[in-house]
Amino acid sequence: MDFTTSPDYDTQKFKCPYCFFEMTHKDVLFRANTGFTAEELEEEDDSGFTMVSSNADRRKDQDLEIKRLFRRYDDESSFSSDKKLDEPLIDFWKSCGGSSGYVNADPKWDYPHIDPKDQSTFQQMIRMDTQAGGQTPGPDGFVRDSDGFILRVFDRFSNSALPMTRLCPHCHNPLPLPDYGKFPVIFIGVVGITSAGKTVYINQVLTHFTTFMYHSGYVLGPAALNVNKNEVVRQNAPLPSSTDDKVMRRPLAASLHREDDPSRGITIVFYDIAGENCVPPDENLPPDTKQKKLDRQAIIGQFISHCDGLIFLIDPNQVPVFSQSDEPGSYS
């Protein structure tokens, strides 16, 4: 990783924190902030039916065709005959917990995507005649920061002041930060056997992350460090339970900007890896259950193989040589 030279963002590649697909800032998808269900579009189509066509009718038809580009995705269990599915997202989560892995954690998972590579739809789905927060689209439709990194586009039907989510073009999972990919990314996995305290450890690290940055030469930039409300550590309250091994934990991320030059920095991504996925599956499990566990372990193995650093947490009480000793210093 080169932290000294000025980057060329058009060629600088970064990895998706989910599938590790490599991309540049021009490759990402953008999630629109407005979406229409199939039922809403059908109702609008029916309400506009007339026997005589006028200029107003033709304009309405054109608007409806553009709105169809903003049709929301259907749930994979939908019985619709005209079902629109986000296949890459569904395929990724098949081995990582199923639809609960994205439906519960990502409220706008079904909103439409704006793909800069699809020029037949890109120009129809964005707005060029607007600005928000001092940001203005360039001639190519992209909104860049002061350093030239692409942050977003403005979609045609939404309030430009709303933040926009960027998506991996390969697995369609959300990139965790608005500037994810601008800085070199460091992946850190937190690994340990069941009940070793990984979730509590990460919870405390993230809660005090800003404090840890004091006198480091870096300041905390955009961050996605939200802790599950069921995992908050409280005084005089039971500690959080073990991580659910059936649903993959979404990565947590933070950008650290250099105090002397905010255009330079690093991004740190944390993975909370369930201890249950670090041990072989029980041979007595039903074949389907066993295969699902093996598939999850393959995904976890991919995370670990891409990590730049690993933090291993061990509870001494779980190590026989320590837990079975009768006296301090005696490890018989």
Residue-wise pLDDT for 212-270, tens only, equals 788 888 888 888 876 555 555 555 555 555 555 566 778 889 899 999 998 899 999 98
- 267 domain-assigned: yes
What is the spatial distance between Cα 74 and Cα 33, in angstroms, rounded to a whole number?
A: 16
Domain final residue, candidates 167, 195, 224: 167
- 109 domain-assigned: yes
Output the domain CATH number for residue 255: 3.40.50
| Contact indicator for 207, 173 with CB cutoff of 8 Å | no
Tell me: do 141 and 248 sit in the same domain.
no
Mean pLDDT of 134-155: 93
Tell me: do 160 and 249 sit in the same domain.
no
Tell me: do 153 and 253 sit in the same domain.
no
What is the spatial distance between Cα 170 and Cα 15, in angstroms, rounded to a whole number?
A: 11
% of the chain beyond a pLDDT of 70: 75
| Sequence-separated (6 or more) residues with CB below 8 Å from residue 5 | none
Range of 88's domain? 25-33+83-167
Domain final residue, candidates 139, 167, 195: 167
Which pLDDT tens digit goes with each residue over 80-101?
888 999 999 999 998 787 888 8
Please give the structure tokens belonging to residue 142.
């992209």
Q: What 8-state DSSP symbol labels residue 255?
A: E
Tell me: do 103 and 129 sit in the same domain.
yes
- 215 domain-assigned: yes
Domain count, the chain: 2
Mean pLDDT of 147-168: 94
What is the spatial distance between Cα 57 and Cα 102, in angstroms, rounded to a whole number?
A: 39
Instruction: Give the pLDDT confidence score for residue 250 in this predicted structure.
Output: 86
Tell me: do 114 and 205 sit in the same domain.
no
294-302 contacts at long range (C-beta below 8 A, 24 or more positions apart): 295/94, 295/95, 296/95, 296/96, 296/245, 296/246, 296/248, 298/95, 299/95, 299/96, 299/248, 300/273, 300/274, 302/20
Lowest mean pLDDT among 36-50, 120-134, 138-152: 36-50
Tell me: do 148 and 218 sit in the same domain.
no
